[in-house]
């Protein structure tokens, strides 16, 4: 479970929240992305909208830090900076150490290496101003034809996946450097759909879901993961729609999944963020004017890849009309502020430079993980491979 805030952190949250207007609370619910904006654009946006969170993709480390220092200085409340640091601090294009993808990390199956990857990612990311990684992937690769989980999941066995997720989360979140974000609730990897292109479906019966995905989600919550990402994934059986799966809404637009299942049954108390707003898995099920409102009303605290101006205005209108309650807005803003306090952003949004010893250890961990991930698939009559043997790669045919 989440560790309690320290007294100083709790006081900071209370003081900031007490002084925030409703508009400032609404700003904490938005997380636009960087790809469309220059630094001048960001500074203009921050003058108009009290954005609370931002997402950055790949940039050189020094360039990113320079931009973020200017943006942090322009924001009265520290910005929470997010990125996809799934297998290392790879958004730092010129300096981030890349680790093997989760499939390979799962094949290596070494909890110490997973902790080392998390720790290295956190140290490098926080130095340049990242605070929130949309990782780890907590999905199960039950269907090898699933286009999302095939290389991004740690495996298909809940017990094995849990044994690797827990040290990875610990490495990411140790010393309050990065907030982990387990994704994609209620769980991808059952069907062969891509939520970037349509709403994907977790078609398991409820009891089987609890034995597989439910076990994983309970484990990461008990481990204290600071945030969870809701996917554009439906779970028809939970709503009695197993015979009519197309009627089931994705979790991002589904209050029973986000509130009843995740909050009330599983006991999650941290920040709940949506998957990206432009993905067809959500935007095919709502209108542009209603999507952000429906997502927040369904239980999300942060709307990912928001249009900072238009979506802010849509939330303002929803509160004014009574579609969205002020109490819910302030509750979500409190969760976001508590996450910022856990990460001590009010003290320093940046971290110390990673030293040579830490970098050397990170590279060694990545190399060892890659070596241990090599897996030989062979028929019984083929000779066993040993270290040093030369292998000629050929076509892999279905059997």
Report d(CA 365, CA 344) in Å as an integer. Answer: 28
Backbone angles phi, psi at 211, to 5 degrees: -75, -25
What per-residue confidence (pLDDT) applies to 380?
58
Could you please report the per-residue DSSP string of 22-76?
Answer: HHHHHHTTEE-BSTT--HHHHHHHHHHS---EEE--SB-HHHHHHHHHHHHHH-S
Taking each helix axis as running N to C, give the angle between helix 310-321 and helix 326-342, from 0 to 180 degrees, rounded to the nearest 10: 130
For residues 126 and 78, the answer to whether their CB atoms sit within 8 Å is: no
Whether the link from the prior residue into 137 is cis, omega within 30° of 0, is no
Beta bridge mates, 182: 228
| Helix (H) or strand (E) run with residue 104 in it | helix 102-108
What per-residue confidence (pLDDT) applies to 398?
44
Could you please report the per-residue DSSP string of 199-223?
Answer: -EE----HHHHIIIIIHHHHHHHHH
End-to-end CA, the chain = 45
What per-residue confidence (pLDDT) applies to 205?
98
Q: Examine the residue annotation and report whether 191 is marked as an active-site residue of this protein.
A: no
What per-residue confidence (pLDDT) applies to 161?
98
Is this structure's pTM higher than 0.85? yes
Pick left, alpha or beta for residue 376 (phi over 0 → left; psi -120 to 50 → alpha; otherwise beta).
beta
What per-residue confidence (pLDDT) applies to 399?
37
Which residue in 34, 275, 307, 311 is the catalytic one? 275
Distance of CA 183 to the CA centre of its chain: 5
Beta bridge mates, 230: 185, 274
Report d(CA 166, CA 136) in Å as an integer. Answer: 10
The tens-digit pLDDT sequence of the chain (399 residues) is: 899 999 999 999 999 999 999 999 999 999 999 988 999 999 999 999 999 999 999 999 999 999 999 999 999 999 999 999 999 999 999 999 999 999 999 999 999 999 999 999 999 999 999 999 999 999 999 999 999 999 999 999 999 999 999 999 999 999 999 999 999 999 999 999 999 999 999 999 999 999 999 999 999 999 999 999 999 999 999 999 999 999 999 999 999 999 999 999 999 999 999 999 999 999 999 999 999 999 999 999 999 999 999 999 999 999 999 999 999 999 999 999 999 999 999 999 999 999 999 999 999 999 999 999 998 766 556 666 677 776 655 544 443
What per-residue confidence (pLDDT) applies to 381?
62
Q: Is the dihedral of CA 259, 261, 262, 267 positive or negative?
A: positive
What per-residue confidence (pLDDT) applies to 396?
45
What per-residue confidence (pLDDT) applies to 36?
85
Least Cα distance to 272 among 364, 280, 264, 88 occurs for: 264
Beta bridge mates, 88: 86, 98
DSSP letter for 157, please.
Answer: -
What per-residue confidence (pLDDT) applies to 121?
98
Report d(CA 35, CA 58) in Å as an integer. Answer: 9
């Amino acid at each position: 479970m989440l560790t309690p805030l320290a007294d100083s952190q709790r006081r900071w949250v209370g003081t900031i929240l007490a002084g925030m207007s409703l508009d400032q609370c609404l700003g904490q619910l938005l997380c636009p992305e960087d790809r469309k904006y220059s630094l001048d654009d960001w500074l203009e946006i921050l003058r108009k909208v009290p954005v609370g969170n931002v997402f950055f993709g790949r940039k050189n480390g020094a360039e990113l830090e320079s931009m973020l220092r200017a943006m942090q200085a322009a924001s009265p409340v520290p910005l929470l900076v997010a990125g996809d640091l799934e297998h290392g601090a790879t958004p730092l294009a010129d300096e981030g150490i890349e680790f093997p993808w989760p499939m390979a990390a799962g094949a290596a199956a070494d909890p110490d290496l997973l902790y080392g990857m998390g720790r290295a990612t956190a140290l490098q990311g926080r130095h340049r101003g990242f605070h929130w990684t949309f990782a780890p992937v907590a999905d199960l690769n039950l269907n090898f034809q699933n286009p999302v989980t095939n290389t991004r999941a740690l495996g298909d066995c809940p017990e094995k996946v849990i044994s690797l997720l827990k040290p990875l989360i610990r490495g990411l979140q140790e010393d309050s450097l990065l907030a982990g974000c387990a994704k994609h609730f209620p769980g991808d990897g059952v069907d062969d759909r891509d939520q970037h292109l349509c709403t994907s479906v977790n078609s398991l019966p409820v009891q089987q879901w609890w034995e597989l995905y439910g076990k994983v989600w309970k484990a990461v919550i008990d481990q204290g993961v600071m945030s969870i990402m809701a996917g554009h994934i439906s779970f028809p059986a939970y709503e009695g729609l197993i015979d009519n799966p197309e009627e089931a809404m994705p979790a991002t637009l589904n209050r029973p999944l986000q509130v009843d299942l995740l909050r009330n049954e599983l006991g999650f108390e941290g920040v709940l963020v949506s998957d990206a707003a432009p993905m067809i898995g959500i935007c095919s099920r709502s209108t542009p004017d209603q999507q952000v409102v429906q997502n927040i009303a369904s239980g999300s605290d942060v709307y990912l890849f928001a249009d900072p101006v238009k979506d802010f205005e849509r939330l303002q209108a929803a509160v004014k009309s009574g579609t969205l309650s002020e109490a819910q807005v302030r509750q979500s803003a409190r969760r976001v502020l508590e996450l910022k306090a856990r990460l001590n952003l009010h003290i320093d949004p940046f971290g110390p430079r990673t030293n040579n010893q830490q970098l050397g250890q990170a590279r060694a961990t990545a190399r060892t993980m890659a070596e241990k991930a090599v897996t030989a698939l062979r028929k019984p009559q083929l000779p066993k491979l040993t270290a040093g043997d030369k292998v000629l790669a050929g076509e892999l045919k279905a059997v």
